[in-house]
Amino acid sequence: MNLLFSNLIRELKKNNSFRFVCSISFAFGIIFWALSFTRHLLLQSNAYDLGLFDQWIWLASKGEEPYSSMTGLHLFADHGAWTLYIASFVYKIFPSIHILLLSQSFSLCLTSIPLWFLCKAKEINNRNSVLIILCWLFQPVVFNINLFDFHPEVWAMPILVLYYLFEKEKKFSLCLLMSFFILGTRDGLVLLVFGLGVEQFLKKRFWFSFGLFFTSTAWFIFLNNFAYPALNGDKGTVMALSRYQAYGSNFSEIILNILVRPNLLISNIDWEGSLFYLFILFLPVLFFLRRISFQTLAVSLPLLVTNILSDSSAQRDLVHQYSLPISLIIIISLINGFQKNNHYFRYYFRLFWILLCWSALAKPWFFTGPYLDRMQLIKSSNEAFAMINKKANVITTSYFVPHLSQRKLIKFPNNENQLVGDFKKYEILLLNPQDPGWGSSGMIQNYYLESAKEQGWKCKVWQNGQEFCRKR
């Protein structure tokens, strides 16, 4: 680590290209955070997956049991993300949801710094190193995931690059430490660490590959056989397995059927959607592929296969979080594919191609359309937020949850059965049947509003359809 720090200082002093990379990465971080912050202010953030994490971390920072009132799941037993406890210490000092948005934006953008040093370790010249950094910063999935609430696996991205820096120096104990941090951001990244083991096996580093296989497998067994059942019964595993029901009812059965019953694969895979997914995933690096390292690319295979086999189309797009690690592995594969005596890219053509793919597959245009459709609610929602006590128990709509999530009890009516039984526990209703938000409906929201009025709650109605009710 001291060597990395000293290299950082040295490059800053003497290398103009590196100073450019640092400057543009920091600028991108500011822009990314500003965009995610703006999206939040425009009431486009949601209970899943921003308000949920904010409530968990806030509860942990207060020394409370971090069980979400929205899902009933424990913080650790949602995805085994023990790194969220680190965020809770930050919340003790500055308990703001913007900490999550800021950390996400800068984790994505500052990944370019260790990427630079990986380029230097592979003796890639400054010009091509800058192009590779721009290729990462302009990855469509990087921009899109920054605008999709919050996901702690983004913290694993710079750590993954650090793993490769330590691997280049043959500091395998530090590599294993980095893999443990990667696992601590999301349980699904056991597939990524397992893939790292596959790469090392192909490099004939058998003992190191065994260490990675053991680490990922042991973590998976610990979570699914001990941690999840102890904290949440089977809630932690059922949700993930539900996307693979076509292949079996439990993990062992799914693996066995995939291995011995190829007809299940042929009949259940969305072939058209999967081919299109692979096409858009590799499209931004189309003119780099002849230099790619297939050993490193093998790291992404477990994640790719999992995404393709899932019955959820969200795992096969560039909008959700599932393709982010794969995208970074592709970039690292490009770096590892270079040799010492590489010649220049056809620089400007490739830069043009990167920007063209970003404009086609990223979603900045959302700020000119979909993200503006709740502008008329901003003033009334802020008025309502000001009327809600910080300790009040709240039923509200999904897009209001991230603005009110730092409390013990908050839910949104995503189905009728979820809230009927404990309706009396709540003191505040803030709903909008005309715009019920994700997972809800006007019918369900009207049911709660009518029930509150029948019980004598004091209500206020705005012309935009928003309604606020307080228990007398």
How far apart are alpha carbons 264 and 18 in whole angstroms?
50
Q: Running DSSP on this structure, what letter comes out for residue 345?
A: P
Provide the pLDDT for residue 341.
47
Provide the pLDDT for residue 10.
75
How far apart are alpha carbons 12 and 20 in whole angstroms?
9
CB 469 within 8 A of CB 452: yes
Report residue 342's pLDDT band, with 50, 70 and 90 as the boundaries.
Answer: very low
Provide the pLDDT for residue 252.
80
Average pLDDT on 439-466 reads 92
- Give the strands of the sheet with 428-431, arranged side by side: 410-411, 394-396, 428-431, 467-470, 458-461
Does the pLDDT value for residue 197 go beyond 90? yes
When mean pLDDT is compared across 86-90, 140-144, 312-316, the lowest value belongs to: 312-316
Report residue 233's pLDDT band, with 50, 70 and 90 as the boundaries.
Answer: low
Which residue reads 């209500």 in tokens? Answer: 459
pLDDT in tens, 392-417: 999 999 999 999 999 999 999 876 55
Higher per-residue pLDDT: 3 or 342: 3
Annotated domain spans of the chain: 2-367, 374-470
pLDDT in tens, 85-115: 999 999 999 999 999 999 999 999 999 999 9
Report residue 348's pLDDT band, with 50, 70 and 90 as the boundaries.
Answer: confident
Two tokens at 149?
């609430």
Two tokens at 342?
């590489």
Give buried/exposed letters for 52-66 (b at 16+ CB in 10 A, else e): bbbbbbbbbbeeeeb
How far apart are alpha carbons 182 and 174 in whole angstroms?
12
Residues 301, 101, 158, 331, Cα dihedral to 10°: 50
CB 388 within 8 A of CB 403: no
3-state secondary structure at position 280: helix
Two tokens at 5?
């720090």
Average pLDDT on 355-378 reads 95
